[in-house]
Amino acid sequence: MSALTVYEAIGGEATMRKLVESFYDKVAADTLLRPLFPPTFDEVKERQFWFLTQLFGGPRLYTERRGQPMLRARHLPFPITTRHAQAWLRCMASAMADADIPTPAREAMLQRLTATAYHMVNTELEEEHKGI
């Protein structure tokens, strides 16, 4: 018997879809994050669904469709500060609650995503302006 992946443990595709839907609803309502995204979320939503599925042990949908993730490079066109990473993680934590992801899986996922989110930070201009 093999150990369950996080993807399987949270309920696979159906839960992942719920999570991504709820996450982008929150991003759309977030005044700091919203301006970085295009008018509609359809495309990024699908790509995020592929990415999270793969990251948490499901089918390798992202790599099959988009190649190597190289996420930091893909985010370089957007000025991402520590505050953006924090806002992104807040939206994700709240979407996980909406999707009824149980606490142990939620903590494991958030821990992994926290590292990724801070890795995307590519400018601290805002912080410099505030003199931090």
Binding site for ligand HEM (CB under 6 A): 33, 36-38, 43-44, 47-48, 51, 66, 71, 74-75, 78, 80, 84-85, 88, 113, 116-117, 120
* Smallest separation, CB 81 to ligand HEM (Å): 9
DSSP 3-state assignment of 112? Answer: helix
**Looking at beta carbons only, is 17 or 75 nearer to ligand HEM?**
75
Q: What are the residues whose beta carbons fall under 8 Å from the beta carbon of 1, sequence distance 6 or more? A: none
* Smallest separation, CB 130 to ligand HEM (Å): 18
DSSP 3-state assignment of 96? Answer: helix
DSSP 3-state assignment of 4? Answer: coil
* Smallest separation, CB 74 to ligand HEM (Å): 5
Query: Strand (E) positions, 1-132?
Result: none
**Looking at beta carbons only, is 11 or 79 nearer to ligand HEM?**
79
**Looking at beta carbons only, is 83 or 98 nearer to ligand HEM?**
83
86 in Cβ contact with 113 (< 8 Å): no
